[in-house]
Amino acid sequence: MFDPVIAPSGTLLGLLQRGRGDGTLHALTAPRAEALAALNHCVLHDPRHDWQVENRSLYYARLLLDLGGELDAIEAHLFDPEDTLDTEESRTGLALAVLGHLASYGRRDALALLRRYAATGTNWAWALDELALRDDDAGLRALAVPVLARFSADAEGEAALAAAVRDAFEPRPWRLWAEDPRPAIAGRVRAAHETGCFDRWQRQLSPTGPRPGWSVRAVFEWAQQGAERGAALHVPAARCLAAVAGPDDRPEILRAARQGTDGARCTALRYLADGNDPDTLALIEAAVSDGTPAVVEAAVDAFERMRSVAAVDRARAWAGRPDPLGAAAGRMLACRGGAGDRDLVLAALREAVRGEGPDAPTLWTLVDGAGRLGIACAAPVLRHVYRETASSHLRGRAARALAATDPSFPAGFAVECLWDCEESTREVAARNAETADLRVVEQLRRLAADPAEEAEVQTAVRSRIEPDVATG
């Protein structure tokens, strides 16, 4: 996935890239051509750092509907010659998802584009998944011939077809095609389905990795083999170690945690931390001091998983350290600390923003902790994170924390959150936004009546408005 370039948060483009509710509100009052240009830029150049956890498609589809936008730019992007050269899903996935939502809202032109792209485009499988949720049986049956034509009739083509059937996110089209009255189509799809099932059965019969009866040393060797080829196996190796290790193996495990190979050391630290071994904290501190980057990461991760009182006490002592262990201590206190740890969590939050910026991964936990502990003094920092982060998920966490710490939230950020791209953020807004604002009441009604809205959001909406208002 490419690293997107995000415009400043004070610009219309920057707001829309972030998926903020203010982006929609500003776009609806901006010159229409300017708003559509910014919107199309977002749809055609996915601004998300992680498209698997961040939502934008429904947000952009709703705005395109509100602006009465055409689909010319999306069509040109999908059927550009570059589509055959750049086969990454990230190039077209967001555009196809937006078309899927538009089709749900009754835009026939969006449905036609999805059908055409499924028949001829490189990222056809994504388009087919969108159609599986929205198209009728006749529309899907018409795609059987062009989709199957992608796979040659030789052994390689049939194997690729079997993999496509097996890995399909939405199976509905393939099930329809397996019942197609044309024998050539139905027979080929059924054969592919049977092959995929057989392949899965074979993999289950021939698993790779640890076996019952392995020794502790064999588990360490397996973990190291993974490390040497770039595959981190210490987490499953630690689970395997829990099954094969006995009391007599503890000295060998402690040696591995002190001076073993990277794979063995990471595995041993994880195993000892999960078991709350009394030597774990000292071994983790030593690993952070003299370990390789992989060992340091595994040691810090193992520490953060610990739930013991001793681990939380040690976190209070480590919280001021200027290293990964100090940052992990701040996160542990954010998750499991008490009211007396507020100052340490606040200091960690401020230091993370100052040192790493508003998109630092460590902020996810620290922001949650500020809300959990009700740190009112954190509100200015949380507002900064809310405004500046490019992550819609982190912004949603900041909104939840502000709801717990900032008295101005209901009449402030909560209002724009009703238009946010993340359903969890809209839910927070629906529960907290001040209804004295006319825009809030109108948006609550719209969310209550929108069939595309998530059930959790609509439940929150109905807790704020009367049933006859929601349906009126």
Q: CB pairs under 8 A, 24+ apart, for 45-49?
A: 45/4, 46/4, 46/90, 46/93, 46/94, 47/4, 47/6, 47/17, 47/18, 47/390, 48/4, 48/94, 48/392, 49/1, 49/3, 49/4, 49/359, 49/390, 49/391
C-alpha 331/C-alpha 373 separation (Å) is 13
Q: Is the pLDDT of residue 464 over 50?
A: yes
Amino acid type, 240: C
Closest among 374, 371, 376 to 394, alpha carbons compared: 371
Give the per-residue pLDDT at 197: 53
Amino acid type, 104: S
Task: Quote the mean pLDDT of the chain.
Answer: 92
The owner of tokens 């041993």 is 268
**pLDDT confidence band for 198 (50 / 70 / 90):** very low
**pLDDT confidence band for 193 (50 / 70 / 90):** confident
Q: Is the pLDDT of residue 98 over 80?
A: yes
Q: Is the pLDDT of residue 205 over 80?
A: no
CA 179, 183, 188, 191: dihedral to nearest 10 degrees? 70
First to last CA, the chain: 44
Angle between helices 363-372 and 379-388 in degrees, nearest 10: 140
pLDDT, mean of residues 419-440 = 94
Report pLDDT digits (tens) over 291-314: 999 999 999 999 999 999 999 999
pLDDT, mean of residues 341-348 = 97
Amino acid type, 100: G
Query: How is the chain split into domains, by residue range?
Result: 12-135, 209-305
- Supply the pTM of this predicted model: 0.89
Give the per-residue pLDDT at 196: 53
Give the per-residue pLDDT at 93: 95
Angle between helices 455-462 and 438-449 in degrees, nearest 10: 130
**pLDDT confidence band for 131 (50 / 70 / 90):** very high
Q: Is the pLDDT of residue 472 over 70?
A: no
